[in-house]
Amino acid sequence: MSPETILYIVVSGVIAFALAVFMYGYKSKYRTSLRWIFGTLRFITLFSILLLLINPKFKSETYTIEKPQLPILVDNSASISELEQSENGLAALNRLRTNPALNERFDISIFNFGNDLEANDSITFNQKNTNIAKALATTNGLFKDQVAPTVLISDGNQTLGSDYEFSSASFANQIYPVVLGDSTKYSDLRVAQLNTNRYAFLKNQFPVETILVYSGSETVTSQFVITQGAATVYRESVTFSEQDNTKTISLTLPASRVGLQTYTAQILPLEDEKNTVNNSKRFAVEVIDEATNVLVVSAMVHPDLGAIKKSIETNEQRKVRLVKPAEALSLLNDYQLVVLYQPNRSFASVYTEIDKLKKNTLLITGDNTDWSFLNSAQPVFQKEITRQRENAAALLNVNYGTFAVDDIGFNDFPPLPTTFGALSVTTTHETLLFQSIAGIDTQNPLLATAELNGKRDAIWDVEGIWKWRAQSFLQANNFQEFDDFMGKLVQYLASTKRKSRLEVSNESFYYNNAPIKISAQYFDKNYVFDNRASLSISVIHEESKNRTVFPMLLKNNFYEVDVNSLPAGTYNYTVSVANESIARSGNFTILDFNVEQQFGNANVSKLNRVASQTGGSLYFSDQIDALIETLTADDRYQSIQKSEEKVVPLIDWKYLLILIVLALSTEWFIRKYNGLI
């Protein structure tokens, strides 16, 4: 407290004492004992009230002991059980979790990881993928600026994500790997990677690239074979040695039949090979009769054009051609969708031909768009002509019902330039993205779709789409989310199929180590998306005839289910709506591929390098006592005493108010008891 506050308190005490003496010591009619009691109580009351008026502030200091953190990350993937290390992993975790010395020294947190890091100790060793890099990155973020040596219980084999050896170089704390698995290397041949297109066109050929890897010290020869059913479609002899241990085989196969074609690529195992599961890999290609052709018409060169082309052609079913307006006239009839990029008066004949052929269009506008021409060239989209610019951010319309849309992080995309002015859509339409100007949400469309008499049109009223695709990559580390969004828009616009009340979307085949999602949209009789419906999907295995029913969950403007729990095989499905006689059927195939079975031993050398570059050390599952001794003896991991100083005003001290109430109540009671009231 300041000297001034202390002076006020002293003066308050003197005033309270003087008033008490004046009231009960000067010419008082009460007997001596009561005068002393009343005087004391009145002094307490007056002094307390004066203290509250002064409201001095007191400093309080509390001390806490903060232990260092000890996150334990347990690899919960199926490769641990494949290497027969489940019991060793659980035993190592239990010894670390229950050790008294560790618990006294550290705050222990237990996590398990497969695809993602989870904060629990429910270890089942059944995750279908391993992402060690993501687990370490998440841990690094959780314990940022804290002393937190990290125990990593794993076999060191990763199937997803970036290289964890490289990413761990920026890890803030020491990593102590506990190796699960045998470090002994056996002779092993495996199909390390297989690349092919998802789609192929009838009577064409599609490429297949296979990377074969050999682990061993002797020179060996084997056969690489690709089969389709009982037929062998490719065979090649391959020789490996300790130095020449990787082979890349590139070939092409004919697409001779329409539909889903499944193949098996196999490197024949050696006689003494221990792990033969990783010698083969199934893959599939869907052969289609024709592609969706998209014509992009532009009179200018712009980065958007390249981004649009790459985004659409991510799906091999779609082909894009870029042309100038003069070239487009003779080509329009060969394309299902025409993308008109920033039209000006040179597009006049193009619009005339589009109107004649009733072609579906996607209009993308920007700084070079001639709106005075555009307003007269087509009747669907009209905009005020101001010749002023503004930057518009995107706001997703969660009630959009024309087709299923995921939020891919539109709120985080940079604002893009657009022409200032109200945009109106003159036909039946839905707005997919609204404009947000300077943080103010508007009802002005940024991206809208319209449909009239079977003709579908859309407008994307901003320039700089390439920036959104780049931002999507920064957020997700790939272009897939943005390209899927663009693909759904193109799929809707390129189709002339009449919309039904129940729309179902699924892939023709899936790999069982990835999410297997089927989505659906249900519309009421007015073709408005109904989010109150109850949808379910009945799935029947084609061979066993086993039937499984899954509820479909509402997700924004569509219903979705993940049937990843189904075993590999071919399935027929039916999506139905409760209390409605509406259903849609289809089929899909799940290809068996367990990436976690591809490893024959632990990756000890990689885990050891991670430990070395972070300042930790590596241990095996039978060396837990040595790890505990290292952690408890290391002077870097000391508890820290922290002090916290709080400044508390007296008016917050409730006991003083209680004291005032007690003093007044006691004085009133004594007066009442003695008949003085």
Q: What is the 3-state secondary structure (H, E, C) of 304-335?
A: HHHHHHHHHCCCCCEEEEEECHHHHCCCHHHC
- Burial of 361: CB neighbours in 10 Å, binned 0-12, 13-18, 19+: buried
Tell me what pLDDT residue 26 has: 66
**Domain residues of the chain, as ranges?**
3-59+650-673, 68-180+602-638, 188-288, 292-494, 502-595
Q: What is the widest separation between alpha-carbon atoms in the chain?
A: 124
Class of domain 292-494 (CATH, top level): alpha beta
Whether the predicted pLDDT of 224 surpasses 80: yes
Class of domain 68-180+602-638 (CATH, top level): alpha beta
User: How many angstroms from the chain centroid is the CA of residue 523?
Assistant: 29
Whether the predicted pLDDT of 499 surpasses 80: no
**Which of 109-113, 506-510, 565-569 shows the highest mean pLDDT?**
109-113
Domains 68-180+602-638 and 292-494 share a fold: yes
Beta bridge partners of 620: 179
More confident residue, 131 or 275: 131
Q: Where are the alpha helices (DSSP H) in 153-269?
A: 164-167
Q: Which residue in 468, 599, 550, 628 sits closest to 159, CA to CA?
A: 599
Tell me what pLDDT residue 643 has: 74
Q: Which residue in 417, 374, 420, 419 sits closest to 393, CA to CA?
A: 417
Whether the predicted pLDDT of 488 surpasses 70: yes
Asked if residues 372 and 385 have their Cβ atoms less than 8 Å apart, the reply is yes
pLDDT tens-digit readout, 40-65? 888 888 888 888 888 877 777 777 78
Tell me what pLDDT residue 571 has: 94
Say which CATH architecture domain 502-595 belongs to: Sandwich (2.60)
The span from the CA of 550 to the CA of 575, in Å, is: 10
More confident residue, 272 or 267: 267
Mean pLDDT over all residues of the chain?
88
Q: Which helix (H) or strand (E) holds 71?
A: strand 69-75
Tell me what pLDDT residue 667 has: 81
- Which value, to the nearest 10 degrees, does the dihedral of the CA atoms of residues 330, 331, 333, 337 take? -140
Residue where the block lists tokens 């920026």: 170
Beta bridge partners of 502: 522
pLDDT tens-digit readout, 73-106? 999 998 898 888 999 999 999 999 999 999 999 9
Mean pLDDT for the stretch of residues 5-15: 82
Asked if residues 136 and 613 have their Cβ atoms less than 8 Å apart, the reply is no
pLDDT tens-digit readout, 405-438? 888 999 899 999 998 888 899 888 999 999 988 8
pLDDT tens-digit readout, 159-169? 888 889 998 88
pLDDT tens-digit readout, 624-638? 999 999 999 998 998
The span from the CA of 78 to the CA of 128, in Å, is: 6
Mean pLDDT for the stretch of residues 313-320: 88
Confidence band of 28 (pLDDT split at 50, 70, 90): low
The span from the CA of 357 to the CA of 565, in Å, is: 47
For residue 15 the two structure tokens come to: 């005033």
Amino acid code (one letter) for 388: Q
Tell me what pLDDT residue 495 has: 83
The proportion of the chain whose per-residue pLDDT surpasses 90, expressed as a percent, equals 51
Tell me what pLDDT residue 531 has: 87
Query: Could you give the 3-state DSSP secondary structure of residue 579?
Result: coil
Q: Which residue in 525, 581, 533 sits closest to 553, CA to CA?
A: 533
Tell me what pLDDT residue 41 has: 85
For residue 122 the two structure tokens come to: 């429910």
The span from the CA of 125 to the CA of 76, in Å, is: 4
Confidence band of 22 (pLDDT split at 50, 70, 90): confident
* Distances 229 to 104, 193, 253, 282 between C-alpha atoms, Å: 61, 21, 15, 11
Asked if residues 308 and 620 have their Cβ atoms less than 8 Å apart, the reply is no
Tell me what pLDDT residue 596 has: 74
The proportion of the chain whose per-residue pLDDT surpasses 70, expressed as a percent, equals 98
Q: Residue 640: CB partners within 8 Å, gap ≥ 6?
A: 65, 66, 68, 147
Whether the predicted pLDDT of 352 surpasses 90: yes
SS (H, E, C) 518-578: EEEEEECCCCCECCCCCEEEEEEECCCCCEEEEECEEECCEEEEECCCCCCEEEEEEEEEC
Say which CATH architecture domain 188-288 belongs to: Sandwich (2.60)
Confidence band of 267 (pLDDT split at 50, 70, 90): very high
CA-CA-CA-CA torsion sign (158, 163, 167, 173): positive
pLDDT tens-digit readout, 562-609? 998 898 899 999 999 998 889 999 999 998 777 777 777 888 999 999
Whether the predicted pLDDT of 615 surpasses 70: yes
Tell me what pLDDT residue 215 has: 85
